[in-house]
Chains A and B, each alone.
Chain A
Amino acid sequence: MDFLAPHLPLLDLIFIGTGYALSQAIVFRAGTFSVATSGFAALGAYCTAILTVKHGLHPAMAVGLGTMLGLLSGLLLSMPLARLRGVYQAIASLAFVEILVAFILFFEDLTGGPLGFHNIPRLVTPWMLFAAMVGTMGLLIVLGQGGIGRAFDAMRQDPAVAASLGVNPTKYHVLSFSLSGGIAGLFGGLDALRNFSLSAEQFGFSILIATLSAVVLGGRRTVIGPLVGVTILVLLPEIFRPLAAYRQAIYGLLLVVVMAYLPFGVFDSLVMRLHNRRLVRAGILAPKARSS
């Protein structure tokens, strides 16, 4: 394991980033367009940090409560957002994140305000993060195979048809937001116990953009897609270290190229291509025909 040691922080980033990306992917799967993940993560992180440092709560308990807080805020946020669609939903959820960041800056006594929250013990190991990521992936795979997955898929592809088949749109809306909030709260809490300190800015636009990019890059239909996206985004700057000055440009270029040529993301497009090839071979699809 020694040769890995210098790279362990990268693994941390991949595991936590994937957690956030999964929280984002689950709302996409249900056909809702929310970008509230970074807000839920902030709630989970500050809740865990405050309870651990200021109230001396057992860290595992604090992370659990941070997860619950994320879940509850997802549940509450879903109710007003259920009335909105598409880009309006995205803007409203963005407002939620911005308001939350403003509150963190304002309540200095509780959160440390603009100076940040410090002296958090580092208690999580890469293995814990790995276990949390795998557990979350497992949960999403399992629920995706049952009735919840069927309802999410129907709602995403045609909400009117889903409703006419008995799927209550509000119920699954609330469920997808709660799951998204719980997952982001969990990884936010773990993030807090990894990094010694927290700042409000880290949960603003930067996580939001990183998470969206990862999901777009890797894929949003499979559970592996977000992991692939995050891994690319974390490793890329390391590989291109000599070109560090052009890092942002390479980032942007990569995203544009992927969106233009692999619109479902690197991993999902690969899965679909293999699937289509199987169908062509079985004589089901005409060669070269692509299902959009």
Chain B
Amino acid sequence: MSSLLLQGVGKRFGGLQAVSPFDMEIARGKITGLIGPNGAGKTTVVNLITGVYKLSQGRILYGNVDLTEAPRHEVARAGLARTYQTIRLLPDATVVANVMIGMYRHQKASLLAQLFGLPSSRAETARFRDEVFRLLDRFGMTRYADYPAGALSYGDQRRVEMMRALALKPEVLLLDEPVAGINDVEAAKLGEIFRSLAIDGDGMAVLLIEHNMRFVTNLCDYVYVLDSGELIAQGSAEEVVNNPIVVTAYLGDDVDA
């Protein structure tokens, strides 16, 4: 089982070093956490991995595939899926249509078959639809199947985005603040799903970007801490939480009480 390896990855915007070179391993069958205060560069890391930004330094390797220079769609085809910090669904399209797009990676029908609606293309669409409904079932969203995604509540839109990422059947799943704005009970439910994706069943490599320290410590096997673009700590969740440097980064210097 291969993991996603970041070797000396860094990003400069003009003269500004947004993320200083750092190493990271996102291992399969584990949930890796990436935490840090606002503006630390967490989302930049996801954008670097998924080919939205070009790397200024370093390499990204997945198994024997070099993703350093890969454009976004090739990163997705290699089996990496992501969600966005701010939800990005197609608001007018139905929930099913939104999730269906995620099946794109598994499309086998030839262009000609799709152009003329040959049986192979029709059968594929029907099969994708079945798989989408299985996903809806897993997230308890079946009754919303034909709703326009934009009409759903915030938490349900998050679920749709998650299902869309899972429709790729990714090997690496990058979750950018997936429980932001979701209450604790709902967040715990999603946490169970993440655990089942990585540890219990599907054996995915999950990268969880979060603010919420408690959520991270409950779920993550290994945690990286980013502050102002610098990797300031890494280790097991407990080590990181009790690390004085991390506490300072989160709470500031002058904590006397």
A interface list, Cβ under 8 A from B: 139, 142-143, 145-148, 150-151, 153-154, 157-158, 160-169, 175, 279, 284-285, 289, 291-292
Residues in B neighbouring A160, C-beta threshold 8 A: 52, 72, 88
With A151-B104, A161-B88 known, 14 other A-B pairs at CB within 8 A are A142-B117, A143-B115, A143-B116, A145-B125, A146-B124, A147-B104, A150-B97, A158-B88, A165-B104, A166-B104, A167-B101, A167-B104, A175-B111, A285-B148
> Quick one: closest A residue to B167, CB to CB?
A165
The answer to whether B71 touches A150 (Cβ under 8 A) is no
- B124 engages A147 (CB within 8 Å): yes
What are 8 sample pairs from A and B whose C-beta atoms fall under 8 A apart? A146-B114, A147-B125, A151-B101, A153-B93, A161-B88, A163-B76, A165-B105, A284-B147
Q: Verify A291–B151 contact, CB threshold 8 A.
A: yes
> Nearest Cβ in chain B — how far from A134, in angstroms?
15
Complex CA distance for A161 and B82, rounded to whole angstroms = 10
Identify which of A139, A146, A154, A164 contacts B121 (C-beta below 8 A). Answer: A146
Instruction: Kindly report which residue of chain A lies nearest to residue B92, judged by CB atoms.
Output: A291
A-B contact count (CB 8 A): 103
Closest to A168 in B: B73
Bound-complex Cα distance A291 to B92 (A): 7
In the complex, residue of chain A having the shortest beta-carbon distance to the beta carbon of B98: A154
Nearest CB in chain B to that of A276: its residue = B148
Q: What distance in Å separates the Cβ of A205 from its nearest Cβ neighbour in chain B?
A: 32
1/0 per residue, CB under 8 A from A, across B45-74: the answer is 000001010000000000000000001110
Residues on the B chain within 8 Å of A167, using CB: 73, 101, 104
- The reply to whether the CB of B102 lies closer than 8 angstroms to some CB of chain A is yes
Task: Indicate with 1 or 0, residue by residue over B87-103, a CB within 8 angstroms of chain A CB atoms.
Answer: 01011110001001110
The yes or no answer to B153 lying at the interface (CB within 8 A) is: no
Contact with A along B120-132 (1 / 0, CB 8 A): 0110110000000
Look across to chain A and name the residue whose beta carbon is closest to the beta carbon of B121: A146
Inter-subunit contact B104/A148 (CB<8 Å):
no
| In the complex, residue of chain B having the shortest beta-carbon distance to the beta carbon of A161 | B88
Return chain B residues, CB-CB under 8 Å to A157.
Answer: 90, 92-93
Q: Tell me the bound Cα distance from A168 to B107 in angstroms.
A: 13
| Choice from A158, A165, A284, A289 contacting B76 with Cβ under 8 Å | A165
Cβ of A143: which chain B residues have Cβ within 8 Å of it?
114-117
**What 8 A-B pairs have minimum CB-CB distances, sorted nearest first?**
A142-B117, A166-B76, A163-B72, A146-B114, A157-B90, A166-B105, A168-B73, A146-B121
